[in-house]
Structure 1
Amino acid sequence: MGPDPSFHRRAAALFADALDQADPEAFLDGACDDDALRAEVRELLDAHATAGDALTPPEAGGLADALVGRGVGPWQVDAVLGEGGMGAVYRAHRVDGAYRREVALKMLQPGVPGAAVLRRFLAERDVLARLEHPGIARLYDAGVDAEGRPFLAMELVPGAQITAWAETASVEDRLDVFVQVCDAVAFAHQNLVVHRDLKPSNLLVTEGGGRPRAVVLDFGIAKLLDAPDAETTRTGAGPLTPAYAAPEQVRGESVTTATDVYALGVVLYELLSGRRPYDVTGASPTELERTLMTQPARPSAVVAERAHARRLRGDLDTVVLKAMAAEPERRYPTASALADDLRRHLAGEPVAARLPTTRYRVTRFVRRHRVGVGVAAAAVALLAVVVAAYTLRLRAERDRAEARFAIAREAARAMIYDVHDAVAGLPGATPARAVLVDRAQAYLDELSAQAADDPALRIDLAGAYRRVGDVEGSPISNNLGRTADARASYLRGLGLIRGLPPDLPDSLAAAAASTEGQLWKGLGVVVAHTATPDSALAHLRRAIDAYARAVRLAPDDLDHRVDLAAGHVNLGDYLGHPYFPNAERPDAALVQYARARALIESVPEPERSLYALRIDGITYEREGNLHRSRGDLDAAVAPLRRSNELRQLIAARPDADADAIRDAGIGTEALGLLAIERGRFGEAERSLLAAQTVYQRLADADPKSANARQTLAFGHLNLARLYGDPDGPDLGRPAEARRHAAEGARIFRALAEADPDNDRLQSLADDAETTRDRIR
């Protein structure tokens, strides 16, 4: 018989730890005094050094094949996609009936996980949970199977490696897809994650849904599984791929976001020219570093086809070489800066990588307006003749028609934006808002028939549909409780935005993106309450993407930044906050709230609007209540106190509206609920009664608002639980408990009956009646 299983487990653990060391031999000298064990580990290290690609198709009968057909948590393994020395990737599908989905399931091999490997695996899970972006393969699930092996269920991306896809794509399409890659990498950098191994095998392009979509894979997963591909080497800084490694990475220096920018430059070089900038096959670390410190040939110089070389010459040569600069400080400072320069190139604008000479800028202008410049002289001469003949006769008629149109349009805009927004925050304004927006909508419907090709008018009309939807049935604002109508209005607005031309001026494009974000947010919130939180998350992520686009297009407009912060709060609510129908992912919710706060803090304090301050207060309250609901009372104290301080200050301002006053009540109520958990019942009663006074006043002033009545109902139920919940504090005041419980149940049932499409209200009504019935 061979060595016992514990021998192999100890060897696997030592092997995994040795891989983390700059000098594995020195590590083994101090960590292993068993000759047989050391020989086993040495054999594993030798095999690892000559291992093939971690994701090449495995040979039949390998260790990974044993899991095919078996269950791993809620997943069933269907096939092996790839296998390496330490782990494997499988195609799997969901089998517990919760929903249908195919995933790429990543697992460690049986018996492999040493402490270091397991730590890296769990760290990778936490990193991926934070990287929620359409350009990054998503983490859907993580857990441990019946035999104690951790697994990650990732998005299964059907696509081709970016360089293979590019073989039949135009230069413009290649750049468009590469910009998507840069945006995804920039998002990771904003979340303090550096990829460290960007290369074509980790960049896939999928053609589903029309426009090609780039997806970045394996944020650390190749390193995590410790089965580097055939081009991967280990240095003192860890595993790297020589053909895409930056000079500082080869030297074993600190890896930063600049390292990823360099790798992006190499990928772009290969994407545009069809070849790599250097041939480093078999190079030693010293030779590799020496090679990378020399500037490669320009991409246009290595392309045989003359037309293609001309397309790359100039801007694209300069952009690629700047990204690949040997010194990190000479590269683009961020992946976003690289993407922005490529966007400028695609738009025919001067790129930042080139010196802004007058000749260069004029050349760019001429290229952008080639047709106009080419016919300008002839057009001027012709127009002089034509205009002279018709100007006098047409000017009066045109001016009268345009004046009538402008007056009607401004009247509609004033009703939708100025008058509506002025009364929206007033108590009792819900019916008035409905009339205003419906009347303005009728005007805009008529106007749109006369100006279907007017982008600004289409954006106005889309904004009107958003406001109509909010008044009709947005569950998080004062509304009439008609969620089905709200959903239809949001979809109509989105249809108008999708019909806009792609070449709008930045200011108009920013307005369109902001309106699009508001429409996706409204749709996502309604879907979360009428369908499932999971189905709403995609809409809420689209809202964030649209808000972020508005920020890029109009960086000086601070409201766009606050909109983006609010978008992150909305996504966090439906990811994992107990006050909302949610996907039970509280850690992911906390990440979204942190992003929202960072955005608010990026706005200088003197320039923070009432809206920005409200979002800041909401963010603190969400974090605090989430900590409280999870039993972490110490972590809940500071954010709830800060939220209440902010909200009371805002409510005391002369420009405070009904929403701000309601927020102040919620801030007080949150401290009351925390006091219950801490056993401070007198303090809890004072806070809950103060909040209820605010809620009652707002509901009395605006009885048509479903949101105001829902907030009041929650207040009644909180008091009922304080006074007489058999499983709670039960202060021994059953009559008061029954009164509050009955009133809360009555309000929720009336709301549910008025809005039968709102599953959330049906559930709240049932829960409220259960609370009422159990208090005796």
Structure 2
Amino acid sequence: MEAVRWQQLSRLLDQMLELPAAQRELRLAQLRAADPDLAGQVQRLLAQERASEEFLAQPLWTAAPQDSRVGSVVGPYRLLRALGEGGMGEVWLAERADGLYQRQVALKLLRSGYADPGLRQRFSREREILARLEHPHLAQLLDAGVDQQGQPYLALAYVEGEPITAYCQRLQLPLERRLQLMRQVCAVVSHAHANLVVHRDLKPSNILVTAQGEVKLLDFGIAKLLDDDTAQGSLLHPPADVRAFTLHYAAPEQVRGEPVTTLTDVYSLGVVLFEVVTGRKPYRLRRDSDAEWERAVQEAEVPRASAAVLRADGPAAAPDAATRRLARRLRGDLDIVLRKALEKPPAQRYASVEALSQDLQRFLEGRTIQARPQHSLYRLRCYIGRHRWGVALGALAVLALAALAAVALWQMQQARREVARAQAMQDFTVGLFDRAAGVRHGSFDMRQLLATGQQRGEAELADQPLALAELEGVIGRLRIGMGDYQLALQTLDHQRALLEQVGQVPPALQLEAVTQRGRALRMLGRSRDCVAHMAPMQALAGRQQGALPGLVAQYQAQLGRCQQALGYRSDARAAFALALALRRDLAHDLPGTAESLADLAALDSDDGRPQAALAAYRQALQLLQGRAAEYRPQRIALHRQLGQALAAHGDLVGAGQALHSAWADAERLYGPDHPETVTIQRLRGVLALQRGELAQAGTMLHQVHQRTRQALGEQHRDTGSSWHALGRLALQRGDSHQAVADFQRAVAIWRQPDCIGLLPQGLYDYGNALAQQGRWQEALAALHEGRQWQAAQRGDRDPAVQQADRRIAEVDKAYREAQPAPF
């Protein structure tokens, strides 16, 4: 029977079986008048249907039960278990039985009813053709032949995987990953086309995805083997012209029985792509029958994928947020890509599978697709979508630059050049606000600018959580630089929540985010929380040392400062040393190198090595020599730390000069209320106290105390330092009662877990003040507790611990001498 005649008969039979008996007889009469021969064939088939409810339920050829074939041998292979069955044959898991080598294969057995005398020759030719196909995403043909019993077989590499549609649905893969898998499919099909082989039966069950996420394409050459154009009318085609393709994924020309080309595979790939991205087939049928499928493939218009996703649950069901988001992604370019791949006339489809793959890649990169007219507005929209984060940051930078005018001119030029690179824009904007944080005059309100920029970003980038997270990180970092630590932490908490939603986050952004949030926690006196937050990222930082040395160095430096505040001195030193080594390898990172030298110097100073600390501070300042304006924030911090070290070493003149330089620069850059300026002013007040200038010290320290409490709150470690300084002032004035009260407040704050490193000195001074009042037992208790804390942190042989032992002995002796003599 000819293929066209069978297709006509199949459609008529489907229609007749759905009609009631009376209408069926009427339709037969009409058909008998028009084509008696066709009517007779339909009537005979209907008679067979009435005789048995299982008409056509069984295949035309019935093999022996599968279980009975387990262990049998086909050619050199032993059958292990059935993997699947189709209309043309079976697929078995088999192993080599002749002992030549050990390997499991997928063995395809063609049913003997389809063999003809020339089958051996065609098998040999097909094997030669398929042997040319060698691709990482192809299940490789290993062997082909006909055994002694006339059983044709094909042996292919056995692939353990699941159909691409099932794999995508089970893992709920994002759209980008689904398209990347389809590009792997396109690559292997394009390779086959280049070797003059057409697949002809592309469908999800022939496209498996392994556990490693790699595509493997099966069944290359089967359709070609069963539909040899040179054997028309031979025994190769049994009666009824059994199809060598799957109707649901067939191209219109296949259904019509027309010649098949590479464009047929383009159409089938379009159907698979539609199902992969939407989860459903492209056609909605009025009834489920082969005739209706043939009509849809040849005549029905393919719906837009974006619309098909929204109506998946029926017109009355409201799609959820994820479905609406997917529909937005599909609308536009992907709808056009799918429509072009599924065009009915082959000439209107993509010219090749490679062209389809290239448009998918362009979509993934945010570039214009070739299937769409290249209007200027369309190209502009793609560019903005590809660089939305850079454009958003560029707008924020332009607002700031307009206010800063000439001071920030070079930064504006840099922003315009780097508008397409989001990370470069971040660095630029952070640098801009770091240097502009001291502006306090005119109508320029930096905090309002940041708040407005954050609101706009959250509104415009709501559907791009990764871009919004980067913007939140920039704003949080700027707020730290301005001293708004609590607001900065809130912003960075929001960034953290966004990154948890994204899933896969670039390592650079992960390190930057965790470093800045740790910095904010440390500034708020929450060093324990800082270590708990940052420590889990050490493995990532270790892996990225070669690729991101600058960011890893920043991470290690910040982690080390939090560890140092908690008394973890050896851990802090290791982190600082690693940061210094990474930064020294970066020749341009002078500020970072100076920062790491200062971090290690602070540890040396605490460990009783003042000369090493002073040398490191001076080396760090020397690195920044000659570029004071550019490195002003680093120079302020270095002069402050140098002043502290000089004061501890007894060089009060040098300490005064260094602290005065730091305070003058901080006043100009940050203003009087910034936490850095307040800290420097407190150190200057303590230095005046050491010099005996009590009036000047009192003015400074009371002013600092007000500003510290206002900026950082009552429980911050710096507020404790302020109470401690006032206690020392009262003690030198001879007011031991006030000194006890002030020291007591400082000790209460420093008892918090994050401030334990400061507690011993507070207890020592508190004990000394109590001793001056004659409260000997309370004094000894405070001194003993301070000694216990310091010994736990530094060991019994530490000079500070031994000095505490001497002081305890002195107070104990004075206590005994103050006791009345016994009568």
TM range, smaller chain: 0.3 to 0.5
Larger Rg belongs to = 2
Q: Return the TM-score normalized by structure 2.
A: 0.38
